[in-house]
Structure 1
């Protein structure tokens, strides 16, 4: 089964899937090891991890696809890739969708922000016109259908950031048209209350995704509440990166004082990275060592 089909099957379940977001292959492996059914490559976190820079359109298409490929090579669960604005016009969107599919992503997110895009919970966001937004999703869906015709597969996660600049009604209208154009999953970014979240889910068809940024604009509700509202996925884009950064800063400050804080022991660290699996697999070829 393809990871795209695995994601479709997950979306058929009557639940809200908690989705911690990864930023590299190791963070994705930890998510899978802890039993989560899917993950998302956070553009915010990947930009910080890979180039040490904010998510303001600085990481290129090639760098993003390469990061996604490294992640899918390391895990078996579905990965949703962050395709940002598609990196150009509608034809660039088509190339972006095809590239993410080739990299092994189960879905790709395409959004309606004006390039260079910004993190959805930071100031200064602006969106393109309706026509340009619809052309991006139309191109993404066309690319998906071309992939299917050739034996490939990927889902389209359509995102709108119109709530910030134009209000919730405009955001819902855009997302409804994204669904009409054939998007598989809808994502209205940054509703600012539980009532707005309910408006989103009650007025839009199909699976919806919530984006929970600790300290961001959207309420950080329990998973049961998100399911009751109508979300199929709850993404947590910065939880792992924020935790990792805090742990590293704490350790660095402790080491400066010649202290050693609590940390994962060496045996577990080796096992989670894959040393033990490597050694076990390599035993299949031990006979060649004995005969030489």
Structure 2
């Protein structure tokens, strides 16, 4: 793979275009493949969704970096589009941030998100009360940038949860500082309304990411409005997971009533999705040697 073809550079090329990118978030290799097959140009491995799907546990820092890297490696191997991985707090001090970036880059990620919550972190829409102080927040992003420059080539998404913990002014100060340190994408978690989103656009230069969580704190806005508000990425962190959960609950209810669910992928569609035809063709190509 040439330097131009690296996952990080493919993601950089997408973000260099002045258009809003819709980014459904994945939680395993199958959901990632569905996103790719639907024509989306990038995806994000959601920590909330992976913790839920892999462990059936809340997004409160219980999942380990090893488990996240393992899940991410499977996702990155299953698809060709760039994947941004949730790096949470970096999993420790600046040395841990370095190693987390190295592991994510080796797993095939194109980018990583690092945030300023106090460990153990929690989902940003469930009542964040504490973030680290400014100095520690800056150390994390500085360590991520240093790791990137040392060879862990990832697009760095710098996130702040300071809006919920300390107020909007502090959050905007941190985002500007993250940009000055060299973060590639800036993420204000949980703005309350369009006025706050407009301040993010007007007061923080750079590439901005929005988080469109159904039933969350931030208003759900159509893509055209998000583009007007200056966003380059619109993440949909739990849409696929929540829809999958509801579909399985309905299917289980049908089965409990002795019925076969009507709304389902066919067996042929499932075989195609996971690549049975390609597998059989590969095996058949060696048949003449027997």
Give the TM bin, normalised by the shorter chain: over 0.9
Q: In the alignment, what sits opposite 1:53?
A: 57
Q: In the alignment, what sits opposite 1:269?
A: 270
Instruction: Flag structure 2 segments of 5+ consecutive residues without an equivalent.
Output: none
Matched, 1:43 2:44: no
CA distance in 1, matches of 2:271, 2:191: 41
CA distance in 1, matches of 2:242, 2:129: 23
Q: In the alignment, what sits opposite 1:118?
A: 122
Deviation >6 Å, runs of 4+: none
Instruction: Flag structure 1 segments of 5+ consecutive residues without an equivalent.
Output: none
Q: Aligned Cα RMSD in Å?
A: 1.0
State the number of aligned residues: 285
Q: In the alignment, what sits opposite 2:136?
A: 132
Q: 2:147 aligns with which of 122, 143, 146?
A: 143
Per the TM alignment, residue 278 of structure 1 is displaced from its structure 2 partner at its CA by 1.8
Deviations along 1:144-190, one digit per CA (max 9) or x if unpaired, are 0001xxxx521111000000011111101100000000001000101
Deviations along 1:113-170, one digit per CA (max 9) or x if unpaired, are 00000001001431000000000000000000001xxxx5211110000000111111
TM-score by length of 2: 0.96
Q: In the alignment, what sits opposite 1:63?
A: 67
Instruction: Map residues 1-292 of structure 1 onto 2, 5 A cutoff.
Output: 1-147=5-151, 153-262=153-262, 263-288=264-289, 292=290
Residue pair 2:84, 2:109 contacting (<8 A) in 1 also: yes
Change (3 A) 1:124 1:159: closer
Per the TM alignment, residue 47 of structure 1 is displaced from its structure 2 partner at its CA by 0.2
Deviations along 1:200-248, one digit per CA (max 9) or x if unpaired, are 1221111110011001011110111111111000000100000000000
CA distance in 2, matches of 1:125, 1:8: 33
Residue pair 1:117, 1:125 contacting (<8 A) in 2 also: no
Deviations along 1:37-56, one digit per CA (max 9) or x if unpaired, are 00000000000011110010
Change (3 A) 1:132 1:48: same
CA distance in 2, matches of 1:115, 1:207: 26
Residue pair 2:209, 2:231 contacting (<8 A) in 1 also: yes
Q: What's the secondary structure of 1:66's corresponding residue?
A: helix
TM-score by length of 1: 0.96
Per the TM alignment, residue 286 of structure 1 is displaced from its structure 2 partner at its CA by 2.9
Per the TM alignment, residue 277 of structure 1 is displaced from its structure 2 partner at its CA by 2.2
Q: What's the secondary structure of 2:243's corresponding residue?
A: helix
CA distance in 1, matches of 2:114, 2:127: 20
Per the TM alignment, residue 198 of structure 1 is displaced from its structure 2 partner at its CA by 1.2
Q: What's the secondary structure of 1:20's corresponding residue?
A: strand
Residue pair 2:97, 2:140 contacting (<8 A) in 1 also: yes
CA distance in 1, matches of 2:67, 2:95: 19
